[in-house]
Amino acid sequence: MAEAIARRIASDSGQGKFVFESAGTQAWEGSPASDAALLVGVERNLDLSGHRSRQLTPAIARASDLVLAMSPAHVAQVRELHPDANVHLLGGYGEAGRGRPIADPFGGDLNDYRATADELEKELAGILARISAA
């Protein structure tokens, strides 16, 4: 959901210079988005039908200018793959010392997915605004 939300925010605000890619530290390679994620996507005008999960690799981490992770454990895993990665918690990014995890709704109910999407929209809008202003 984060990738699709970031793409939509960037497109809506005319920030087409960014490239967004999703990869997971525990991803099942090639899996489609969950039914709940698809439904929340439809509710928010996000097309997740073509999404397929992929495993984060050292090459992906190395090629990324910025990696935003959902949890401290994810940050640590990214650093294991690429110690010099520019990786930060997505929640609170750019707020000095205020990074915070965002709950992964996987396995949760539809309301869990909606709550995570709400948080992602808020955080990603702020991140893109800060990056664009820099």
66-102 residue pLDDT tens: 999 999 999 999 999 999 999 999 999 977 667 899 9
Summarize the confidence of residues 121-132 as an average pLDDT. 92
Q: Which two tokens stand for residue 11?
A: 């497109």
pTM of the predicted structure, to 2 decimals:
0.92
How many domains is the chain built from? Answer: 1
Instruction: Residue 97: give its domain's CATH number.
Output: 3.40.50.2300
Summarize the confidence of residues 59-67 as an average pLDDT. 96
CA distance 125 to 123: 6
Range of the domain at 31: 2-133
Q: What is the pLDDT of residues 24-58, one digit of tens each?
A: 998 889 999 999 999 999 999 999 999 999 999 99
Give the pLDDT of residue 97: 64
Q: Can you say how many angstroms the Cα of residue 51 is from the centroid of all Cα atoms in its chain?
A: 13
Q: For residue 75, give the amino acid letter.
A: V
